[in-house]
Amino acid sequence: MLPSSVRRIAAFTPALVLVSVFASVLGAPVAAARADAPAAPASAASAKSLAVATVRSSSDAQLYSADGVVEAVRQSVIATQVSGAIVELPVKAGDRVKAGQLLIRMDARAANQEAKASSAQVEAARAALILAAKDYERQKLLFNKQYISAAQLERAESQFKSASAQANAQIAQAGAVQTQTGFYVLNAPYSGVVAEVPVTLGDMAMPGRPLMTVYDPAALRVTATVPQARVANLVAGQAVRIEFPGMPEAQRWITAGKMTVLPVADAATHTVQLRLDLPGATTALTPGMFARVHLAFNTNGSAQGARLYVPSKAVFRRAELTAVYVLNAQGQPLLRQVKAGAVTGAEQEILSGVSAGEQVALDPVAAAKVGVVNAAKDSSK
């Protein structure tokens, strides 16, 4: 027979081992597990004071998270149809502009000279037309008095028609030259914001070279792609929630407006693009920002469609361990490893490790302390 003191030490050894395990998980020493502490009343009170939540089951729809990006419904790349040096650039990136406001002016001196030359040619053609018309009228009078032959009259008529055609051609050419002079001035197509200005004063503008990008901040949307196999099961009329991780907490979540599913799939990735309109009041968002779209898909009531959710704060992680504290039949928290899924708002999807209806502790640290005290108490009996 071992002495009574040795038996007490042997009985208390498992409790010490369990205390050390929990202390390593929490990263803090636990002094409440001493054998001489009256743990029974304190642990019971602590267990009752734990805030708990019930594991929620959702079998109506399956949630899916897709990465997206903010883009403007109206975004224009300003370019020119003619070549010329930039002589005026009154706006910069970030400026707000109104429809018709001057954006870029190019050197149009050569074009203006061509326009003047065309105008002079028009005047000359009109003068020739007037002369040909008068000559034709005289030839008709002479022909009526039988002073000239029919051939001379026909020659005068042909000269009049030729002068008329030349005048019309000169007028059309002058109009084209005058129109081209307008290409040297670029105005805002609509009211919006200047997103990018990749040129400076003195740069040579050429056809096809982007000179400026303008977008309308009043009409934004989020585009995201989903696998083509999921498109048919999208819940119709759902209120799609969009998360913007880079925004402050108060502006992080937005409910999208109309959702448009493009009727084509990408041949390389086999995905379909979704377009989700954003409310007009989202002034803090800009094109190019990252977004996460949370969508609901029908599961046709199958058992595989059920999803389990717990509050996100009930889940804690240490290294490679992901776990929750589940309350047993006696109301005591027990550590249980789980496999976590996607985060949706304030909830965390649990893929395995818990069952619907079970209760989990909302504060893992407090639950761990209660569990350690109870383990030490049971081992000391």
On the question of pLDDT at 177 being above 50, the answer is yes
Q: Select the CATH number that applies to the domain covering 64-73+219-299 from these four: 3.40.630.30, 2.40.30.170, 1.10.630.10, 1.10.8.60.
A: 2.40.30.170
What angle do helix axes 150-181 and 109-144 make, rounded to 10 degrees?
160
Q: Pick the closest to residue 348 from 325, 364, 324, 366 (CA basis).
A: 324
Residue 296 to residue 257: CA distance in whole angstroms: 15
Residue 79, judged by CB atoms within 10 A of its CB (0-12, 13-18, 19+), counts as middle
More confident residue, 17 or 128: 128
The yes-or-no verdict on residue 129 having pLDDT over 90 is: yes
C-alpha–C-alpha distance, residues 327 and 130, integer Å: 106
Q: Where are the domains of the chain?
A: 1-50+373-381, 51-59+306-362, 64-73+219-299, 78-214
Give the right CATH number for 78-214 from 2.40.170.20, 2.40.70.10, 2.40.50.100, 3.40.640.10: 2.40.50.100
How big is the chain, counted in residues?
381
Q: What is the CATH number of domain 51-59+306-362?
A: 2.40.420.20
Give 29's pLDDT tier (boundaries 50, 70, 90). very low
- Name which of 2, 11, 47 is nearest 376 in CA terms: 11
CB 22 within 8 A of CB 379: no
User: Among 272, 320, 280, which Cα is nearest to 297's?
Assistant: 272
Per-residue pLDDT tens for 231-258? Answer: 888 877 888 899 998 888 888 889 998 9
Task: Say which residue, 322 or 284, is predicted with more confidence.
Answer: 322
What confidence tens digit (pLDDT) does each residue in 325-349 have?
A: 999 988 899 999 999 887 877 888 8
pLDDT at position 106 over 80: yes
Strands 212-215 and 204-205: unpaired
Whether 21 shows a pLDDT value over 60: the answer reads no
Whether 155 has a pLDDT exceeding 50, the answer reads yes
- pLDDT at 301 exceeding the cut of 90: no
- Nearest Cα neighbor of 293 from 217, 225, 218 is 225
Pick from 188, 198, 194, 187: nearest CA to 215 = 194
C-alpha 39/C-alpha 31 separation (Å) is 11
Q: Is 322 exposed, middle or buried (0-12, 13-18, 19+ CB in 10 A)?
A: middle
In angstroms, rounded to a whole number, what is the distance separating the alpha carbons of residues 86 and 83? 9
Percent above pLDDT 90 for the chain: 56
